[in-house]
Each structure stands twice: as structure tokens, then as C-alpha cells.
Copies of this chain bind each other. A is one copy, B any other.
Amino acid sequence: MPESETQKNLNRPAVRILPLAGLPEVASGDDLGALIMQAARKQGVGCAAGDVFVVAQKIVSKAEGRSVRLDSVEPSERARRWAAEFQKDPRVIELVLRESSGIVRMERGVIVARTRHGFVCANAGVDVSNTREGTALLLPEDPDGSARKLQEQLARAFGCHVGVIVSDTFGRPWREGLVNVALGVAGMSPLADYRGQRDAHGRVMQATIIAVADELAAAAGLVMGKLERMPVVIVHGVALEKGTGSGRDLIRPAERDLFR
């Protein structure tokens, strides 16, 4: 590594991942952007250009009224049949079916579905944990739209460019455990494209596109914790370039997917 590069890296500040404390319980109709700003002010959190706010899907969904009372759900015949077979609540299965564009697997009580957005995850993102008894929480209808709205609001209020990621914890093929991933993205490019750049040996890099929004979501996951008492996390110090793109860019079209 040339000396200038070493020096630059010595001076490169660390990435910091900060929980945003003091956020109240979020309810339907709440102005989530305003709540985040209030909590940030109270905590004395400033903002630098390129900071990324990672916001747990749960509070976005709650603010957007995506909570459903199970006793308002009339299960279809199909939902009843599957619920009986898997010993599940037929109303929850009904919601999963409504949220799905396709079922990937249905086995041993676990439904892996492709959501209408295109995400592949357990129960099509329908969540009955960490919600009020007798309710289920659905994914935001348009996580990119949710991210965009928050992004504009936070950028305006802070007076600097920020990225916003709406995240959720998903299982994945081949590997154990859940990781936090990006569903909605705004104010940044979700993919960092290194193709054409030269590696340390001066050779042009081949197929190297990093899912930086997913790495940011995963990093935030370390601080959110699964109990999600910290549903908003700020990532400082990632040298993020302003970029366009959305969470949809992270969804691999089935016909291009060689990894399954």
C-alpha cells in the first residue's frame, strides 16, 4: 500500500452505530419522522452528511396503521385447511396468504413466502410477536415509499443529506439464524458497484457488487437487538455517496438467481 494510502486510512474515522434512545411507543397515525427528530434532539444527536438512519420495519408499519386485529379477519377455506394441517391460527394464515404472491415452502409449521413486494421471508412478513395480543403486524405496503418519506423529512429537519433504510430480520437459505436486511431504501444507492475498479494487484475487478444497504442493516441489527427496544439506529461515518435506487434493487429476479 502506498504511504499516502496508509496515512489516509490511519486518519479514516471509525464507523459508529448509535442507538436512538427515547423514542415513545409508536401508534397508528403517528408522524414517525417527527418522533425520530424529537428523540434525536433530546439525545443531542446531530447529523453529518452521509449518515444513515436504519429504522425497524415494525415501527414504520405501526405508524402506517398496518396492524390488523385478528378478530376482523375472515379466513378463507384454503387458510382454514392449512391452519388445521399446521395447527396455526387460521386468521394469521389468511393474512399470510393475502400478503403473499407465492409460497416457497410450507413445512413443519413454517411458511416461507414471497411477499407482494418480492421479499422471500417467513410468514410473508406477518408478525404476531412483539405486537399487542390479538393483533398481527404486516410489512409496510411500500417500504421504499416509507423510506423516501422519512428520508425527505429527516434531511429537511437536520439540514443535511441522510440515507434511510427500513429494515427487518429475515431468515435466509443455506445459513442459520436471522439477519437484519434492508426492505426500503432512500437517499443512497443500496448496491456499491466496484466493477471496473482495480484491485490491490492492479487488475480490474470482476463481478463485485456489494449490498451495502444490507450490510448497513445488519450492522444496525447489532445495536437494535432482537427485542427491538432500539428500533432506530444511526450509522455515522460510512463514506456514503449520494445515490439513487431503492430496496427493490436488492431483490434478485428469480430468473437471474443461481444461488437457490
Contact = CB atoms under 8 A, between A and B. Distances in A.
A179 B130 contact: no
Contacts of A226: 192, 194, 205, 208, 210
B17 A14 contact: yes
Interface in A174-227: 174-181, 190-192, 194, 197, 199-201, 203, 205-206, 208-212, 214-216, 218-219, 221-223, 226-227
Given A172-B173, A176-B251, A222 B219 contact: yes
A2 to B, nearest CB: 10
A38 to B, nearest CB: 14
Given A129-B203, A175-B181, A258-B107, A5 B229 contact: yes
16 contacts: A9-B21, A9-B229, A12-B19, A16-B17, A120-B173, A132-B201, A133-B201, A171-B259, A173-B173, A173-B260, A175-B252, A177-B209, A178-B211, A194-B226, A215-B218, A218-B218
Interface of A: 1, 5-6, 9-10, 12, 14-19, 21-22, 25, 43, 104-105, 107-108, 110, 112, 119-120, 129-133, 169, 171-181, 190-192, 194, 197, 199-201, 203, 205-206, 208-212, 214-216, 218-219, 221-223, 226-230, 235-236, 238, 249-252, 257-260
